Homo-oligomer: A and B are copies of this chain.
Amino acid sequence: MGGERLVGRTQDIRQTILDHALDLCSEIGLEGLSFGALAKRVGMSKSGLYAHFDTKESLQSDVLDHAAARFIDSVAAPALKKPRGLPRMRDLYSRWLAWEGDEFTGGCPFFTASSEFDDRPGQVRNSLQRHLKDMLEMVSRVAETCIEERHFVSDLDTRQFAFEFYGALLSYHQFRRLMDSARADDMAREAFESLLYRSQA
């Protein structure tokens, strides 16, 4: 029993460390996430951190897994509870916008990690690629429910839909977070409404 409690506590500590690591990653990037910087943020010694993560690469990869779990909790899972078809699609987009714009002080950690790791083969890039594929396949699957509910035309290219859905979110990220555009929210909604309109029967 004592062993289980200890495992439980070790898991809690790990989650707390990963929460801090995710915030740090959102602010300074996944590459800037050193054991030293993280130890300072968490208020732990570096050797304490090494008890939870072997290498910087495995820490980075674990942070991405943690971000993906949070994306599921904040965006995917609530949206999947909405009725199939358009209501689910609208909820998904709206939650994803909030994720890009407000969930993190430094913006979406996947966006940050993408530009750092898109051309660096290895464990971190593989993890990032896997999570992004999951996220975009989910968009395609929700678009399929829209077809089944006859909200979208039957021959819609759902992967093309996901490409344009994601494009609007990425552009939003840039207009909102970098260019401080007052119209970013409006433009992101307009782009989405146009995408829905084109997809509808």
Contacts and interface: CB of A to CB of B under 8 A. Distances in A.
Contacts of A129: 178-180
A50 interface: no
A170 B160 contact: no
Q: How many copies does the complex hold?
A: 2
A172 B160 CA distance: 11
Interface string A103-129: 001110001101111110000010011
29 contacts: A27-B119, A28-B31, A29-B31, A29-B116, A31-B31, A105-B119, A106-B119, A107-B115, A107-B118, A114-B178, A117-B178, A118-B177, A119-B177, A128-B178, A129-B179, A129-B180, A160-B187, A160-B190, A160-B191, A163-B168, A163-B187, A164-B167, A164-B191, A166-B171, A167-B170, A167-B171, A167-B172, A170-B171, A170-B174
